[in-house]
Structure 1
């Protein structure tokens, strides 16, 4: 028996519904959910003694069940004479105070302000099947009638799938009338089957339109979203933003349905937001491992990433998460990153908060009562303290934060919020200072009012461990100094360096401190970064360390045009990121590897010098083009890939005859390191220069 219409337009036809209920008989048809699924929102917005009008009642049992729990002043109307007759016969003796009337909701016969609630379960969706002029005129008449029969303070409670055109029409109509508009999510998803032929998986929403008394000259419009059954409503600034928020929840429900039905959708990530503020609270990545053989206990697991470690390759990159999932041995692993700016009480509270939501992401075939394990590193959520947050006109919003590493050391990081999972600069804090800072922080928390943001004053410069390079690509760049002739004598030589890209200043500062006769010119386009480096990362200028606030392209061009007076640097380092996220190369910007510009770099590089470039490029074709362009200007080109990262460090020189075998490179690096490990130098024992060059390849 096929009850589906030939077209959606038939949903608004009297003849269609007469035939529908004749064929279906007395079996109840529950469009968009049963009473048990809807009772939470119904009881929230309807009081037992209020007079309720149900429009397009059909043969749903909803009115009957409301009546049986105390809502007895209910009037039901429908355009189908067949269904009204059925419902009268069924309820006459059981529910004598409830009435059923054959009536067109577009021309209702009730006096003005007759009801306190108009309840609509799927009727607006059935009428508003398209946006043709005739359909919209019918809907206007319907909604005008709803407004007419409602008292001031009354509510139009409409259960809907909130398709974009339906939401737009309903919200637009009532907000223009000065009503308060609230959209309340009723369920995460509703899978509906009509006689086994039609299936959808979308969340069900309730529109609660509250009638306000018109105020002449007032343009106040109120839009709210309640994303959870017991959650607080969230105020939104416009109808457009409300529509966006509803669409986000529909997309989430669709994604969950796809994940339940099949595995292997590729890389899937989503944000779970705070229900009160709408701010992202968790970022989830769903990773399937099709090679894992299924068993009773390995269907699904959740991995909580400790705060501050979401930038690590294993957690922050797709390839790393795949490796993590495979090694964990689960068919599906969901990694959960905790957002800065959010408060978390501990692992137990996070599990309790996430349990219901993450189960929506479980794979098909998982037993209903299967217990899902929550995994982590070390059993805690880590420590992250935002020390400072500001906005740079050049780089956008950024934060300075201290995080605890897996070795209990604390690290200070610079993060641009436009690229939250990339550490722009990092420095290790001295252990004793960081420990005292944590104790002071706990003491300050007890004194500080609960609503005071945690932004602490800058730590003293001596808190930074200047002997330690956190970034592997910085270590490799320093190791490139071994390519200079007589590198073992560099600490006694007047070494000149140009570093383009300051960041936190750790790279030029390391050179300055470990090569006592060096002179470093650092170029930084963003003046805010000099302030950050000085205040938060222990950086300072001196007669041997000068920072130039300028565009690196312009600075190099000016130097190259200096004729005989132009400088010739022993080392030139580029460690500058691109501000354009659409490019396949995030470091450096393409202009820095343009052929004409590379010629200018060549003109200011000493004949025996080395040009060192940090390259981050995910586009293989673009990367090969960059390498070919570099080799056209610098015939001798070494490449060092950073394990677990996209970074590649390129060492460029002018004389191909100086090409060195790997063993020679290692011996030169060892010789340089021996001179750097002089007494009192503060050399980090874990930093082995030769290891940085062991995997170097010549292009």
Structure 2
């Protein structure tokens, strides 16, 4: 039988509750939880000898059960004469000291300061059904009466769903009165998902409002949130922040409810935060694989992403996570990314910390006894060491961190914290060597280095950057584009003028400088902090053939095009510059870099047989088509190379359509260039095959 009201407005109606209890009869109705679910919280905030007033008692057994365990000074009031009569009859002989009174809580008959606790289980929610003026006036009278009958130091303990308008009213009222406000999530009630019509998808909270003696002129307000039964409350700086924190808990509970009820609804992401600091500690992605055939042991698993590898396509992109879930063979996989700045003792510690939370995300039907596997790459949580943190006036907060890759190599990364899932720059660190081996490597490099190349600074004590290794696939593709130049087999012997817009850690211009001995490289970087980062942490160094210009790339190229700099045209122009505006559909380059007028400037500084190479990251398909059309209008010959597993696409733009090469010719030129680069002393990375980078190139 459905006894829940059809409209929430009925909750405030005397007639509704009279009918409710007549139909309900003597069977208890436990609104928002039973005594067993609430006892931990009640015993925490109510002492056995305190005088307790229960408002809107209904026919709940809560007062009876409190009485039976020693709380015997309890007065219960309700507006329903029917229920008061029922409760008196039921308790007259068994609980003689407990009183039941028909009374309007908005006009109570008790003297001032009569009670040490006012207990309210769902009553405020029943009255505050909307924010109409009449309703708010009723609530004001109710809360004023609560404050009047409480002693100083007493507590109003209100069990509620903490809907936004209820929380706002209760917190606003008591904080203005100078009371301490604490909102406590009732842990044992948070699993009240909608299993039946009498259950709720929202978690249950308790407001604990402590009455302080008024202090003239004091503006002190105390707001706290406690999310665990015996946990330490977290102090918040405003009522607004408290409301936000409660909303986060409600959204999480709703999400858990939906995930339990439905599978195969796509990917869901959420953060789990440190209960003391409120800082994100884990980022979870829930991925369902409906195509995986169900079996007894493949319903659910947790995958811990090793530290530093959360940016990889397999873990950092939705499609990658779907592939991971399918290959792991589980119907639902929860991937867990570990946040930088947090400390983790190891896999066992993480498993113990997460077990209760991730089980809330399990699909419906998973038994409590079923073991849920925790998976990872190699069975560990990886290594992440933050080497440096700073703030750039232009780019914001950033970190330099060393992380361990899947091949046990260590990699250094530059991460901007406003886009923490994107690696801005990356370089591989040389493996640790003996002091003797390091001296020999240094001596060999000195012999091979041209006279005009200074020794690069050490990347960090005991570590050096592997300058012959390109970490980024889009950088490898950009270097492969040099095969489009005429006579690529002669590039190591002939002068090569290269302009790189966007320095970052300096890996791309440094690679060109080191591997093309006759090259002259100019890099343009708008942020002076990045030059410091590249020099101090990524082994970058300027020389006679390597110059960095601190300038806006737009202004620099425009000045060149207008003859502001007496410099010959460039054989190669490379754009590897990102946008600082995350709201754009194109994160690389900024839109101004592909405007028709600016592209004409790029064209004017390029030699007739040169190549303009652009790293394009655009998720907006319409915008991308527009960019390609604009490029095609300026550069008649346009090749495109998609980076597998990433959003990046590398565009190779040339001026002369008659230079168009079929794939076999293009691969032959790449192989010719690679033969030259693989000569002894070049420090070439054997895993890097130029021709592989150009196999999938298409002409637009």
Name the TM-score, length of structure 1 as normaliser. Answer: 0.94
- The farther-off stretch of 686-695 and 115-124 is 686-695
SS in structure 2 opposite 1:366? coil
Alpha-carbon displacement from aligned partner over 1:414-445 (angstroms, at most 9, x marks no partner): 11111111101001111116999xxxxxxxxx
Would you say the 8 A contact 1:559–1:567 is kept in 2?
Answer: no
Counterpart residue number, 1:444:
none
Alpha-carbon displacement from aligned partner over 1:508-534 (angstroms, at most 9, x marks no partner): 111111112211111111111111111
SS in structure 2 opposite 1:201? coil
Q: Distance in 1 between matches of 2:435 and 2:204?
A: 50
SS in structure 1 opposite 2:337? strand
Pairing of 1:227-266 with structure 2 (within 5 A)? 227-266=227-266
Give the drift of 1:335.
0.6
Counterpart residue number, 2:449:
none
Pairing of 1:270-281 with structure 2 (within 5 A)? 270-281=270-281
Pairing of 1:530-679 with structure 2 (within 5 A)? 530-562=531-563, 565=566, 567-679=568-680
Counterpart residue number, 1:370:
370
Q: Distance in 2 between matches of 1:51 and 1:29?
A: 24
Would you say the 8 A contact 1:385–1:403 is kept in 2?
Answer: yes
> Structure 1 residues 659 and 251, CA, compared in 2 at 3 Å: closer, same or farther?
same
- The farther-off stretch of 563-572 and 591-600 is 563-572
Counterpart residue number, 1:442:
none
Counterpart residue number, 2:109:
109
Residue 465 of structure 1 pairs with residue 466 of structure 2: yes
Counterpart residue number, 2:488:
487
Pairing of 1:403-414 with structure 2 (within 5 A)? 403-414=403-414
Counterpart residue number, 1:140:
140
Alpha-carbon displacement from aligned partner over 1:588-641 (angstroms, at most 9, x marks no partner): 111111111111000000111110001111222222221121111111111111
Counterpart residue number, 2:83:
83
SS in structure 2 opposite 1:71? coil
Give the drift of 1:565.
4.3
Counterpart residue number, 1:131:
131
Counterpart residue number, 1:522:
523
Give the drift of 1:461.
9.3
Q: Which ranges of structure 1 fall in alignment gaps of 5 or more residues?
A: 437-456
Q: Distance in 2 between matches of 1:585 and 1:401?
A: 26
Q: Distance in 1 between matches of 2:372 and 2:683?
A: 48
Q: Distance in 1 between matches of 2:2 and 2:579?
A: 59
Q: Which ranges of structure 2 fall in alignment gaps of 5 or more residues?
A: 437-457
SS in structure 1 opposite 2:333? strand
Alpha-carbon displacement from aligned partner over 1:523-578 (angstroms, at most 9, x marks no partner): 11111111111111111112211111111111111110008945300100000111
Q: Distance in 1 between matches of 2:350 and 2:17?
A: 49
Alpha-carbon displacement from aligned partner over 1:433-478 (angstroms, at most 9, x marks no partner): 6999xxxxxxxxxxxxxxxxxxxx9715961111111111111111
Counterpart residue number, 2:346:
346
Q: Distance in 2 between matches of 1:414 and 1:434?
A: 27
SS in structure 1 opposite 2:541? coil
Would you say the 8 A contact 2:186–2:203 is kept in 1?
Answer: yes
Counterpart residue number, 1:441:
none
Alpha-carbon displacement from aligned partner over 1:351-407 (angstroms, at most 9, x marks no partner): 111111111111123334322111111000000011111222211211111100111
Q: Distance in 2 between matches of 1:607 and 1:294?
A: 61
> Structure 1 residues 315 and 435, CA, compared in 2 at 3 Å: closer, same or farther?
farther
Q: How many residue pairs are counted as aligned between the two chains?
A: 678
Name the TM-score, length of structure 2 as normaliser. Answer: 0.94
> Structure 1 residues 289 and 7, CA, compared in 2 at 3 Å: closer, same or farther?
closer
Residue 23 of structure 1 pairs with residue 18 of structure 2: no
Would you say the 8 A contact 2:203–2:253 is kept in 1?
Answer: yes
Counterpart residue number, 2:451:
none
Would you say the 8 A contact 1:280–1:339 is kept in 2?
Answer: yes
Counterpart residue number, 2:157:
157
Counterpart residue number, 2:209:
209
Alpha-carbon displacement from aligned partner over 1:177-208 (angstroms, at most 9, x marks no partner): 011111011136353889x6565310000001
Q: Distance in 2 between matches of 1:586 and 1:505?
A: 19
Q: Distance in 2 between matches of 1:151 and 1:458?
A: 66
Would you say the 8 A contact 1:283–1:338 is kept in 2?
Answer: yes
Counterpart residue number, 1:71:
71
Give the drift of 1:671.
1.6
Q: Distance in 2 between matches of 1:482 and 1:458?
A: 31
Would you say the 8 A contact 1:566–1:604 is kept in 2?
Answer: no
Q: Distance in 2 between matches of 1:604 and 1:434?
A: 48
Would you say the 8 A contact 2:459–2:539 is kept in 1?
Answer: no
SS in structure 2 opposite 1:294? coil
Counterpart residue number, 1:55:
55
Counterpart residue number, 1:447:
none
Give the drift of 1:143.
0.5
